[in-house]
Structure 1
Amino acid sequence: MTEVPDATAKAAALLAELSVAEKIAFLHQHQPAVERLGLAAFHTGCEALHGVAWIGRATVFPQAVGLGATWDRDLLRRVGEAVSTEVRAFRQDTENAFQASDVADKHPMVSLNVWAPVVNLLRDPRWGRNEEGYSEDPLATAEMATAYCRGLRGEHPTIWRTAPVLKHFLAYNVETDRDVIDIEVPPRVLNEYELPAFRGPIQAGVAAGVMPGYNLTNGVPNHVHPLIKDALRAWNPELVICSDAQAPSNLVEREKYFASHVESHAAALKAGLDSYTDNGPDARPTIERFTQALEQGLISEADIDAAVGRLLAMRAATGEFDPDTDPYAGIGADVISCPAHNALALQAARAAIVLLKNEDETLPLALSEPDETDPADNRLAAAVIGHLGSRVLTDWYSGELPYAVSIADGLRTAFGDRAVTAVDGAEVISLRAGEAEFGPFCHQDWGTSVQYPIAVRTLQAVESGKYLTLAGDGDTEVLAEAWTPDGWVVKELWEFHETDEGQTVVRSNASGRYLRVGDDGRLFADATTAEEATAFVVESLTSGIRQAVAAAASAKHAIVVLGNDPHINGRETVDRDGLALPADQEALLRAVVEANPNTTLVLVSSYPYAIGWAAENVPSIVWTAHGGQELGNAVADVLTGAHNPAGRLPQTWYAADSDLPAPQDYDVIGSGWTYQYSRREHLYAFGHGLSYTTFEYGDLVLTVREDQLGALTIVAETQITNSGSTAGQDVVQLYSHALDASVPTPLRRLQGFERIELAPGESHTVVFEVPAERLAHWSEELGAFRVQSGEYEFTVGRSSIDLPSSASVKLNLR
């Protein structure tokens, strides 16, 4: 990388010593050792989205969308620092790092090349991977990603603690047919909306590489897209481009863009793809394809050298080839889930919580234990209702939790066990077929998605707490033995189909086969048709709603915790088909509110919901992404007022599915997508979030500064005062609007944000500096950005629609 010439020189010297065959082998993700040169085996890729993932027990921070909700650059930098420090610990102190981990392979090779963060914009809340992004806004995403990368990279001037790779270039927001879908992106949307999220961290010098997305953009697969060179490498010539898993082979097998793998691999190398994540750890197909491409003259040795040189330079930049000078070499396993990292996880989980509604200041809760001296006061302080109230869930890119504090746990810690009760509110059922009976199962409805056109359910054995799952050879046996719905294919999902006779056949969503009771009385999922399946009578043993209503009525305050399981509905490969809560969850909420109007809804989810009924009828509503190990303490701190919430929504919460264009419609300008262009009335606006205190905004004062080269900067200044009686944080947001634009421009465009903390009565002056180039729009005629002369309005406030102060400035550009 350009800032580490010694590493580049070391890489060049090693490259000169490698044979052609050795260099070709280095193009695969799993690079072999070269003992004669002292080169160890290496592979690209260690998942580190919100903690070290897939390799063992490590600190788990909130999902990326939750980190985005903090609007806190310094916090993101410190989280990145903690994550990269734990990556180093796993690599350098392997035996101790894996000692307490529940992983099959106790000693996997750990790479200092981390595949994080995801900078795809949260354009569409139905996107299955919504949890992985920071924001729907390009500036906010770029700023947060830059901060996280800065933490991952480390503070040393030449040695990188880890080498982050940005995901997924380009226009990747659809999971359905993601490896064949062709996304049309107009030039203005491409340059004003999609590219800036990548450009920010790359030009800041804190990203080591980029991973292309599976899709095609404007007719060209991203893995051979000319923008790899025309944009990414123009910003940094030394960027390493790592393929997504199996994407090189997809160029032929799925996309059919090339006639042969030899041709496709050659084209990808020439387009700028350096590392090939293909066929798992088996490098032989990749080696054979490149060897033939070289023999056929489709590529040159210089093409190979360019790619391998960049890969070696990235390795060198982490200090791998000079361990004696590596400032991070002493990091050991004691940092993994250490007290400082656990405290940071709690701080991040608190900062990510957004108070959506607080009618009549029903929060914070005034909880107390029942007054045993008062016979009339026999109610519990609070009832926590809902499956997610007693559980802490992970997602596909989470690490193994070192510990977990649920919301019920957090409230019990705050107020005592006797003051808080928790119930699932889920129906308990059994399945009967003649003499055979299976259950009891706790029966959860997780809604529908594009991939799951019928509602999918989990069946959790009441006795053991384990989920009914596919097992045995060929996944045909069915046992209650899974601790959580998990895995690339989720084998714990079941569809209930009613027969004409009023009975039910149960279909595995994973295999497509139906349940059958064997002659020995065991369950099998091997019936190919509904006719071959066993027809069950579904018997309700316990009414979840009746249980929830009783708990709510017995408590002074009901806390209903709803949301998603990140492994089920809305995840990698699975988009949502809409914004509604699952039907059973909506019914549960309505029943609880009727039983106890003093209800708070806590949404724990990877994405927004259309909760129109709740917004009208529930007094207080809180949203948090899945918050990691400290979720429960963080939510309890907010509900009780121990922490004043200051999270802000990183994306628009739309009121209904009808407000959304088609998922593949990327024309945010023409279709009125995102807060920038939408004229609809939304449920909750981009940037929205409430506090337990109030903040007053002074006048917005604008000045224009010109440097010696004639470049203009707009300086925006305003004073914020905490006018309430409680200390709190506000996220001050500055937006612009071009009043004289000759083309459609954003109704409002985020130009700056700062999270500040103020004591009661305290004031602080916030100053934003906005280079005039940020006011530019892409001119298709010029093929470049253009800032027009004219009047520009700036507004500042608490969200994209709550903007109490404004001022205008007229720019006369030469």
Structure 2
Amino acid sequence: MNEPAPEAFRDPARPVAERVADLLGRLTLEEKVGLLHQYQAPVPRLGVGAFRTGTEALHGLAWLGPATVFPQAVGLASTWDPELVRRVGAATGAEVVAFHRKDPDGAGLNVWAPVVNPLRDPRWGRNEEGYAEDPWLTGLMGTAFARGLRGEHPTLRTAPTLKHFLAYNNETDRCTTSSNVPPRVLHEYELKAFRPAIASGAAVAVMTSYNLVNGRPAMLSPLVNQVLRTWTDQEVLVVSDAYAPANLTGLQAYYADPAEAYAAAIKAGTDSFTQDDDRTEATLGHIRTALERGLLAEQDVDAAARHALAIRFRLGEFDPGSPYEVGEEVVNGPEHQALAREAATRAIVLLKNDGILPLRAPSRVAVVGPLADTLMEDWYSGTLPYAVTARAGLAERCEVTFCEGVDRVALGSRGRYVTAVAGRDGGPVRLTSAAGPEATWFDLFDWGGGAYALRSAANGRYLSAGDDDVLVNDQPGPNGWEVRQTFRLEERPRGTLVLRHIATGRYVASTTDGTLRLAAEGGQPLVLTLELVRGGAQAAAELAAAADVAVVVAGDHPLVNGRETEDRADLGLPPAQEELLRAVHEANPDTVLVLSSGYPFAVTWAQQRVPAIVWSAHGGQEYGHALADVLFGDQDPGGRLTQTWYRSAGELPDLLDYDIIATDATYLYFRGTPLYPFGHGLSYTRFEYSALELSAERLAPEESLTVRCTVTNTGNRPGTEVVQLYTRQRRSRVKQPLRQLRAFERLRLAPGESGTVTLTVAAADLAFWDVTKDRFVVEDAAHTVQVGRSARDIRLSGRFTVDGERLAPRDPYRRPLEAIGNDEYDGIVLCDAGRVDGDAVRGTDPGSWIAFHGVDFAAGAARCAFTAGSTEGGVLSLRLDDPLTGPVAGAVSIAPVRDRHELVEVGCPLAGVAGVRDLYVVFENEGITLGTLTFAPGTIGGGR
């Protein structure tokens, strides 16, 4: 008797697409619907198991227990070493597999990493999750990390998911704010960071972001299907961010009905809904309702299910065996520990050095600061298996004295004191008569932005508001999604203060028995006096004065004053840390400032006075060893900044303005003098650049330029240099970047050694997005090539010309002018022309305008038709040459419409419109939405 043939979907010899189609054809509609949630339902009758998306692995496996913790992503990028980043990704992927083999339900193989949102604004609360403010460098590093995660075998080790599509760089009101992304910013900046990992196959999935883009929820963006999925011939899984689907009918109120919202999301390209944790009933119910009402067809479900299944097939779920056989011993094994140390070392950036570094042994070093003897975990960290702090690392090399440098205080009220309970578990904090000094003493940590944490001297645990709102000294530090261990100290008359709990906004009060708890809304706060027991800055200064060198370790707490859900207001050091640094420096001028943070600081005072400044992102478990290796000169500091460090937040545009071109943002367009430029980082030796050679003076658009130069180590120590190549287009129809990174190379040179660096720039990569043609264009223009140590430290330069396109004036008759394709604007927001597709602009104030430069009306234009709408009605005017004083060529009244997405066609005759002119559309009233302008030719002034 013949054995039945195995199902085609279980045959690894068949193409993945064929296997997916076979399994899809065997599933019922209900079974296919069950695949569209984060927790995919099993299909027992076919032997198909359950599957879950979403294992966090940003810089090591997170949330599942101790695993190797590498430097934060911005720190990994600061190595400027894609191969090292790939190895970190591979180690992380191996640990994911090891956890998955032990607990398949707890550790899924679809990993939610890397984050490739360009770091447009350093105040972003999640700055540490990204790689760089440059989109090309971001794409390079993201691809490297994803390549490591996925492995080199055709079968995926893990399935990397890029976060967060698209234009997501603020936490403030992130679910309701709309990122304004003009076409050039979209194509030259935002999409550019995502494309490489998808096009190369390094990443196989994408997560959509919480925000809206040009007025439409990113989860519904037509760019998913129309652009992102065209970058590869492989299936791309698209997952929503956690609880984002509910926003479509909740915070965003984009749809009134969940079935409509979920149907729209599936049609827009969402394949997996991350909603309600493992409770799938509501989500699947909305999809079923959408099917019943005809809002979805079965083929829509098929498309989403196909994307979901394709990833599972590529992970080898239906194949015998696996090419990735790893055991638990790989987790935090010796090789990964060594890699963590290597990554942490390479990520350290020397910002300033007046010769105090490297340190000379033996030295007596005072190590001070709130970060000197602790390592921080961020929201997406793994659990540290061990922690080598700055103090511990330096103590292995020299005599170390230590002081945290934080104030120790007592909080009193009318003769009684806030008193904590001894013992690890602490207990409710009460107002009592003094019961011994330690019980009434607290260490006051200033984390900036007005956020303070209080650690009880009685047991070393932090004050926290428990679930019952009673204050308890029972936490190891600020932690959790809702950080309940931070307070604001609000001043009151006569030197008193009150405590406001940051997470809830409620004041601290006391009950009749003296127990401290959060007051009800509007309740009376407990008025306190703050008594200084011991000044942290003074204690640190005394320690520093007795040492050869002082090392102040300062920075941020990754869960306080800037994190997911919370942006920063400024870039200054926390005031108490600034005070500490100044006091230590006054006591001992031989002071080194070590910054550990996930974002830049405006350390202008330190740059002027402190002899050495070192920065790294939070560096993971081996941070202390890495820091010691660099400070003592065993390793040359090889890190380079991937963000501009500004002198103050006042040099930045509005946090919510994503138009980097119009606002002169990032190193690409910034015209000021930064504190530290993009690409900056010093060495312990010196390098000279010479002998610049360009392979050609003129290039065709399909050719590439080869740039060679010689770099020589002229110092007396071996060192690492990162040679950076930038270009600038000298002439253009549009505003061009002042400088743009095109290539780089790391090289290590012995004293006196020279090396030849060869870098390549493709002329095609010099293209910009031309709004008049809706495509990338390589313009006929001269370019400057610049080679140096940073974006502002250029050592060699040359010129070449690209024989590209000569751009003609706009032709208004060939096709309608799209309002979003304007050349310049004022008082305008970008918005959605329709719920499903299309972009438009809306005036925010009377007199707002958009401009189209160099429009060739030839012999004349007789009439203009607008697609426009307004719920209040209004007037649009056309002016020539100037939005305020230019002649009025025509005007049209817009009648009120009921729906803001309702755009109607209205027209007007034109007068005096001929030749090549700058055209301005002036919004005489606020709230008018404009989609397109269509012109009809005719004689001058001969309207019809």
Normalised-by-shorter TM-score class: over 0.9
Secondary structure at 2:465 match in 1 = strand
2:361 is the alignment partner of 1:367: yes
Question: Which residue, 739, 752, 761 being the options, matches 2:730?
Answer: 739
The 5 Å alignment of 1:344-383 reads 344-359=339-354, 361-368=355-362, 381-383=364-366
1:88-103 superposed matches below 5 A: 88-94=97-103
* CA distance in 2: counterparts of 1:175 and 1:640, whole angstroms: 39
Does 2:777 match 1:786?
A: yes
Q: Which has the bigger relative contact order, CA under 8 A and spacing at least 6?
A: 1
Q: 2:297 is matched with which residue?
A: 300
Letter in 2 for 1:734: L
Q: Look up the match of 2:203.
A: 207
Quickly say closer, same or farther: Cα 1:170–1:456, change in 2 above 3 A: same
SS of corresponding position for 2:336: helix
Residue identity opposite 2:387 in structure 1: A
Q: Relative to 1, partners in 2 of residues 1:710 and 1:386: Cα closer, same or farther, differing over 3 Å?
A: closer
**Aligned to 2:69, what secondary structure does the other structure show?**
coil
Aligned to 2:6: none
- Look up the match of 1:763: 754
Please list every run of 5 or more consecutive structure 1 residues that lacks an aligned counterpart in the other structure: 95-106, 370-380, 449-454
- What is the letter of the counterpart of residue 739 of structure 2? R
1:644 equivalenced with 2:660 (yes/no): no
User: Aligned match of 1:226 in 219, 222, 227?
Assistant: 222
CA contact (8 A) 2:397 2:628 kept: yes
1:242 to 218, 239, 243: 239
Following the alignment from structure 2 to structure 1, what is the Cα–Cα distance between the partners of residues 505 and 41? 40
TM-score (norm 2): 0.80
Deviation of 1:705 (Å): 11
The equivalent of 1:613 in structure 2 is: 605
Q: Does 1:424 align with 2:425?
A: no
Alignment: residue pair count: 773
Match of 2:416 in 1: 435
Q: Is the 8 A contact 2:711 2:755 kept in 1?
A: yes
Among candidates 709, 715, 733, match of residue 706 of structure 2:
715
State whether residues 412 and 420 of structure 1, in contact with CA within 8 Å, keep that contact through their aligned partners in structure 2: yes
Aligned with 1:191 (options 183, 187, 192) = 187
Q: Measure how far apart 1:427 and its partner are.
A: 0.4
Aligned with 1:401 (options 372, 376, 384): 384
Contact 1:355/1:647 (<8 A) preserved: yes
| Corresponding residue number in structure 1 for 2:174 | 178
- Kindly state the Cα deviation for residue 529 of structure 1 after the two structures are TM-superposed: 3.7
1:643-700 CA distance string (max 9 Å, x none): 1101000000011122111011111111111111111011000000000011121222
Q: Indicate conservation of the 8 Å contact 1:387/1:424, yes or no.
A: yes
Equivalent residues of 2:701, 2:764 under 8 A apart: no
Identify the residue that residue 340 of structure 1 maps to in structure 2.
335
Q: Which residue of 2 aligns with 1:217?
A: 213
Counterpart AA for 2:236: L
Q: Secondary structure, in 3 states, of the residue corresponding to 2:485?
A: coil
Which deviates more from structure 2 when the two are superposed, residues 432-441 or residues 555-564? 432-441
Paired AA for residue 156 in structure 2: W
**Relative to structure 1, is the Cα distance of residues 775 and 605 closer, same or farther in structure 2, using a 3 angstrom cutoff?**
same
State the secondary structure of the residue aligned to 1:414: coil
1:240 is aligned with what amino acid? Answer: L
Cα deviation for residue 477 of structure 1 reads: 1.4
Alignment of 1:354-503 (within 5 A): 354-359=349-354, 361-368=355-362, 381-415=364-398, 419-433=399-413, 434-438=415-419, 439-448=440-449, 455-471=450-466, 474-503=467-496
Identity of aligned residues (%): 47
> What TM-score, normalized to structure 1?
0.93
* 1:580-620 Cα deviation digits (max 9, x unpaired): 11111111111111111110100111100111111101010
> Within 2, Cα distance between the matches of 1:669 and 1:706?
28
Output one character per residue of 1:732-784: Cα deviation in whole Å (capped at 9) or x when no partner: 11000111222211111100012222222222222122111111111000100
Residues 512-565 of structure 1: CA deviation (Å, up to 9, x unaligned) = 2222333444322234346x2322222211111111111111111111111000
The 8 Å contact of residues 698 and 802 in structure 2, kept in 1 or not, is answered as: no
- State whether structure 2 residue 256 is matched by structure 1 residue 259: yes
Contact 2:697 2:801 in 1 (8 A): no
Alpha-carbon distance change, 236 to 388 in structure 1, aligned in 2, over 3 angstroms: same
Q: Give, in whole Å, the separation in 2 of the partners of 1:436 and 1:4.
A: 75
C-alpha distance in structure 2 between counterparts of 1:286 and 1:37, whole Å: 24
Q: CA deviation at 1:230?
A: 1.5
What SS class does the counterpart of residue 699 from structure 1 fall into?
strand
2:174 and 2:211 in contact (8 A); partners too: yes
2-structure distance, mates of 1:569, 1:775: 39
Kept in 2, the 8 Å contact 1:127–1:576? The answer is: yes
SS class of match (1:117) = coil
Shift of 1:116: 0.4
Aligned pairs (5 A) from 1:441-590: 441-448=442-449, 455-471=450-466, 474-529=467-522, 532-590=524-582
Match of 2:904 in 1: none
2:76 is matched with which residue: 57, 67, 71?
Answer: 67
Query: Which residue number corresponds to residue 879 of structure 2?
Result: none
Residue from 120, 123, 127 that aligns with 2:120: 123
Q: 1:87-166 counterparts in 2 under 5 A? A: 87-94=96-103, 109-156=106-153, 158-166=154-162
**Cα distance in structure 2, aligned partners of 1:458 and 1:658:** 27
* Residue identity opposite 1:445 in structure 2: D
Which amino acid letter does the alignment assign opposite residue 366 of structure 2?
Answer: A
Corresponding residue for 2:163? 167
Unaligned runs of 5+ in 2: 1-8, 420-439, 806-944
Cα shift at 1:5: 6.5
- Higher Cα radius of gyration: 2
| 1:412 partner letter | A
CA distance in structure 1 between the aligned counterparts of 2:257 and 2:572, rounded to whole angstroms: 44
Q: 8 Å contact 1:699–1:806 — kept in the other structure?
A: no
Counterpart residue identity of residue 390, structure 2? I
Tell me the residue number matched to 1:377: none
CA deviation after TM superposition for structure 1 residue 185, in Å: 1.1
CA distance, structure 1, for counterparts of residue 365 and residue 329 of structure 2: 38
Between the aligned partners of 2:390 and 2:550, the Cα distance in structure 1 is: 13
